[in-house]
A and B are shown apart, each in its own frame.
Chain A
Amino acid sequence: MVKTTVQLGPLTLQNPIVTASGTFGYGVEFADYLDINKLGAITLKSVTLNPREGNAPPRIAETPSGMMNSIGLANHGIDVLMDSILPKLEAFDRVKVIANIAGHSLEENVELAKRLDQVDRVDAIELNISCPNVDAGGLAFCQDLPMVSRLTKAVRKVTLKPLIVKLSASVPDIVALAKTAVESGADILSLINTIPGMDVDIAKKALFFKRGSAGLSGPAIRPIALKAVYDVAQSVDIPIIGMGGVASVEDVVKFLLVGADAVSVGMMNFVRPSLSGELVDQLSAYLVASGETLSTLKLKA
């Protein structure tokens, strides 16, 4: 039996396969398709203090090798998450649960972190400062380094749980952004979020999405994600959860080779709902067949 346990700072995962926020619901929706208890961790859909209806449709468009979304952080709010959803995850005792918070302000994120800090079933908190589909907060945070610092420090202060900061690659200097998050108290970095893009409705002579911009994800952004993880891994010493278009075990290995410590599956959960579970088995098989271990998966000097 090959060893697959990974240590992400204070967070221990039974294997490095994670699911990305917004692509895996609250985990339970996928229980029909795979044993979610075999995953390293699942990341819950972003939560805000109050319920959010989300953006007006259309909300998605297919692109070559990917898709764009403009969901707008639609969610039931923190009360429903804590009272009705998290208890359903009690039955899954081996998979770690990462709660993703996406408050529109510093104060909202602090309040969310305080509330989730009290919940045993939450193993880590991911601070989403990189959603491109909202008017306040989201990606705007990532583009303001002093804000990233204040936000990360403020959330850090109110929780003892492992703190993950989720970064966007749509910034002038992702390394500077990563360093800011690390210096401000992040335990783990996750990257990348979707990339702002656009589509046009020719018949209507109008932008396809009501907000104009939408977030591009899927294999189309994988090369960008690999470079972002590579660049950040060269510059910071804390663990990285890499993501962006992961569709196969080869993609998982690529992210591990460029410096990720765990790898998250995103859009492809929609295309093949059983994929993340299959990747757990395929990664073990890859390690056995190649004679590698997770710690030897490094680029040659």
Chain B
Amino acid sequence: MSQRKQIQIGTVVGQSEVAANTFIISIREPQLVRQVKPGHFVNVSLPSRTNANLLKRPFSIYGTDKEAIQILYKVKGDVTTVMTTLQKGDEVELLGPLGNTFTLPKKKKVLLVGGGIGVAPLIYLYDRLKAHNEVKILHGVRTRQEAMVWANLPVQTHVDEEVGHYVCAGFEKVIRQHEAQHVVTCGPIPMMKEIVEASARAGVSCEVSLEARMACGFGVCLGCVIETKSGYKKVCSDGPVFDGALLW
């Protein structure tokens, strides 16, 4: 019989604030690191949580570092607020890796477009694509305070309030400028929708990574469904990565 999956206890090895209300936390869990691929997510809960917050929270994988996974997150609610207080040695519960994975093309010009915190899974994807593809990353943020410093990464930051429009505006032109052959996006729904539609017009494949509130993360509660062209699909187990053409 194959090894059973179970909730793993990971140990925090470090955490830092990288932009306004935006943190990277590293959690040591060697088994998870061995299994994880770009696109996967993990369901996280904090053992120190009160009984009031029972459901785990899904986070995409930002990267791996030796035996630790890295999660890039933005403070949004009670759980992420508590998460910022975690220190080296603290334990968290991890269930994963969950969900499906990004397509990994070869010898292509690939454009990755992240909106806000949605950039997280794209950085991990970049890491696995860069050896065999020509990859560029666009990161759209609303304000300068949300911009991150990207060392050694080909990231072009687009600050909406400075440029005067969203990163996805006139995106067909952006695809042509970059001569992109494959687009991957993660961010707010309206942004992804525009990018998917622009990619379709440009005749370029486009994958999106979605997020949703979910209770289980492995396809049972049916709570995380999204409407697609072929009916409701589960973000957790049919996704989180979808062919954009299936959605819009």
A53 beta carbon closer than 8 Å to chain B? yes
Question: Which partner residue on chain A sits nearest B217 by CB separation?
Answer: A270
Would you call A67 and B225 a contact (CB within 8 A)? no
Count of interface residues, chain A, beta-carbon cutoff 8 Å: 34
Taken together as a complex, chains A and B put the C-alpha atoms of A69 and B55 apart, in Å, by 13
Shortest distance between the CB of B52 and any CB in chain A (Å): 4
Which of B4-12, B27-35, B175-183, B200-208 participates in binding chain A? B4-12
Q: Which of B53, B214, B221 has the most chain A CB atoms closer than 10 A to its own CB?
A: B221
Interface range on chain B (Cβ under 8 Å from partner): 20 to 34
Would you call B218 and A273 a contact (CB within 8 A)? yes
B219 beta carbon closer than 8 Å to chain A? yes
Contact of B221 among A33, A66, A71, A274 (CB under 8 A): A71
Taken together as a complex, chains A and B put the C-alpha atoms of A58 and B213 apart, in Å, by 8
Would you call A66 and B218 a contact (CB within 8 A)? no
Would you call B54 and A71 a contact (CB within 8 A)? no
Would you call A74 and B221 a contact (CB within 8 A)? no
> What does the 1/0 interface line of B219-244 toward A look like (CB < 8 Å)?
11111111100011000000000000
A32 beta carbon closer than 8 Å to chain B? yes
Shortest distance between the CB of A204 and any CB in chain B (Å): 15
Would you call B220 and A24 a contact (CB within 8 A)? yes
Would you call B222 and A54 a contact (CB within 8 A)? yes
Q: Which of A56-76 contact B (CB under 8 A)?
A: 56-62, 64-67, 69, 71, 74
Would you call B221 and A23 a contact (CB within 8 A)? yes
Question: Which partner residue on chain A sits nearest B53 by CB separation?
Answer: A62
Would you call B51 and A60 a contact (CB within 8 A)? no
Known: A32-B5, A33-B6, A62-B55. A57 touches B222 (CB 8 A): no
Taken together as a complex, chains A and B put the C-alpha atoms of A64 and B212 apart, in Å, by 19
Question: Which partner residue on chain B sits nearest A275 by CB separation?
Answer: B7
B216 beta carbon closer than 8 Å to chain A? yes
A142 beta carbon closer than 8 Å to chain B? no
Shortest distance between the CB of A275 and any CB in chain B (Å): 10
Q: Which of A129-153 contact B (CB under 8 A)?
A: none
Known: A62-B53, A267-B215. A74 touches B6 (CB 8 A): no
> What does the 1/0 interface line of A1-38 toward B look like (CB < 8 Å)?
00000000000000000000001110001101110000
Shortest distance between the CB of B75 and any CB in chain A (Å): 17
A residues near B226, Cβ cutoff 8 Å: 57
B56 beta carbon closer than 8 Å to chain A? yes
A271 beta carbon closer than 8 Å to chain B? yes
Would you call A54 and B232 a contact (CB within 8 A)? yes
Q: Which residues of B contact A (CB under 8 A)?
A: 2, 4-7, 45, 51-56, 95, 212-216, 218-227, 231-232
Additional pairs, 7, CB under 8 Å, beyond known A57-B224, A65-B54: A33-B5, A33-B6, A59-B225, A60-B223, A61-B213, A74-B232, A267-B54
Q: Which residues of A contact B (CB under 8 A)?
A: 23-25, 29-30, 32-34, 53-54, 56-62, 64-67, 69, 71, 74, 218-219, 267-274
Closest 3 CB pairs of A and B: A60-B223, A270-B216, A270-B215
